[in-house]
Structure 1
Amino acid sequence: MLVNGYAGLAVDEVEGVLAVDVKHLDARSVEEPTSQSVIRGPKEGFTESAQTNMSLIRRRLLNVNLRFEKHTIGEQSGTHLYIAYIEGGIDPDLLWKLRTSIQKTKINSVFDSGNIENILRPKGFALFPTIYSSERPDAICEFLLERRAAVIVNGSPYVLAFPAAMRDFFKSPEDQYQWVVFGNFTRYLRYAAFLISLFISALYIAATNYQQELVPTILLISIASQREGVPFPAVIEILLMEVTFEILREAGTRMPRIVGQAISVVGALVLGQAAVEAGIVGNFAVIIVAMAAISGFAAPVYTFGSNVRLLRFALIIIASLFGIYGLILSACFLIIHLIRLTTFGFSYFDPIRLFRSKSN
């Protein structure tokens, strides 16, 4: 307790020592979330202080059954984390599995909730993220009200929620603050953007290389005329633009905030236009890659969009080798994988059975 900022008070002829909390740590003030911004809704976001994060949740859930269960993890760091849940509402099996997984964890140090996310990730092969992380207290409170649990890690502004379903990664906290019709429309729009981001580049390669009969004749002639003089096949053309855009995205993220956005936007415009004028790629390829990249940003959770970027490269290679038939088989494999995927014993793809108690 002395290491954690307590002072020991010993009194003569009194057995034991009193531990008095005297620490005062400077912490970042509550600010607007950087990764999940909304136009309408609360502007408060979690900070690196676990005590502040618990108070933000408690302020929104005035429930006497709300519990914060403290654990210590990290042999060297001794990081405190808290399991948040509503007693009597959470599935006992889920709470037991989460508590057991944390207690059995042997790790040297923990500095962010990302370390816990990697540890608690389901064993086996998973193409999509199975743990939801958020900077928004209202999003985490919604998870708690749906009979789920959250993990708050001291030192991290991202709170984890368990278990997560695929549909959670397409929900924005702003959806519940709007007219229900418009909220559902924007959610379905995100599903469409996910499919566009995942398949449009591969479909372009499959259609232009193997199944030209699927493309309208006028559009096919236009694509062929634009690609006249391009020295590379369509797959190299798309991969070249995809890799270039990924480098621009990474450079814009690592650059200082003042110049990062300008470099990413200007770099994309200048390089794209210069590549077209030099005859390295065609105009249609630039449009396809831009549509895939912009659609990927429609996902409210960044980690889900990152996984889609990796899958897009795999589908491009498959389309270049097997055409539309390879894409159909890949889509079937993805659907089967999603159906079979579980997180803490709950289905990842079934929104009906996910939060239904086994006793009901």
Structure 2
Amino acid sequence: MRVLVTGSAGFIGFHLSRRLLAEGHAVTGFDGFSDYYDVGLKRARHDVLAQEARFEAVEGRLETPGLLHDLLGRVRPEIVVHCAAQAGVRYSLANPAAFADSNLAGSFALLEAVRAHPVRHLLLASTSSAYGGNTHLPFRETDRAVTPLSFYAATKLAMEGMAHSYSHLHGIPTTAFRFFTVYGPWGRPDMALFLFTRKILSGEPIEVFGDGAPERDFTYVDDLIEAVRRLLDVPPPGAGPVGPEDTLSPAAPYRLVNIGGGRPVRLDAMIAALEAALGRRAERLFRPLPPGDVARTEASTDLLRRLVGTVPETPIAVGIPAFVDWYRAFYGV
């Protein structure tokens, strides 16, 4: 296949691109190399991908007029996976304009490009933050998601809505997936696991929000990539709804799917697993839960299993040591 992956220097886009290249597919990786976090890490990810002759790197901003339109016209991908976005719940409090530019204007530019140059399947990375103030657990794709608690979540919900309208108007087979706290090797430096690892190894205290009680549905990156890879081959509408939990739209070839482990872990349990992997104790500074954060996330994976079968679920006792091994090797600590 010819696949365009936006955000290919990002955590998830990198892992997906590497998986596709390993299978022999041609991948065009598009990334803007924003300085939200260490650009050197992003360059290192792209350097790994560039070792494959079937990888083409394209640098640019999503929202640049005409750039994605011209790129799709030249590459003619069969599949587009849109992972590029401005991420970070807390960062959206400080710099909401970055989210409007990338997640709203940038996603609109991509939809316009796909409208002009149709693809077999468009896949969009969304977030569990879209469930917002919903207190019904586990989060099911059929739950109403109308109470975003951060501007980041609001922009992702808007992206889902824009994509549905384009799917309806232009017949674009589209799958949006909501990720749940992805972690693993080559992870994002703004995520808790990465931050905690750096601070514990340097002897700095870590900030623990909500007394360590918040729970997250930690999803190991290899498990998530396996799910995304299988979903590439299941464009909607297919043969129609696969069960009562299906979100297949009655008005468009559009579907929304959770990708998570479905087994929430308390923050203090994650820290304990990290301490064990590092062989060091963390000094804790307890802080209240910040605005925009939720107390618990938990994915219903019933629809995912209906569509692609059982997906591996790596426990944190395995996933966290794998991250630590990568971190020590990459940073030489």
Give the structure-1-normalised TM-score: 0.23
Larger radius of gyration: 1
Greater helix share, structure number: 1
Give the structure-2-normalised TM-score: 0.24
Greater strand share, structure number: 2
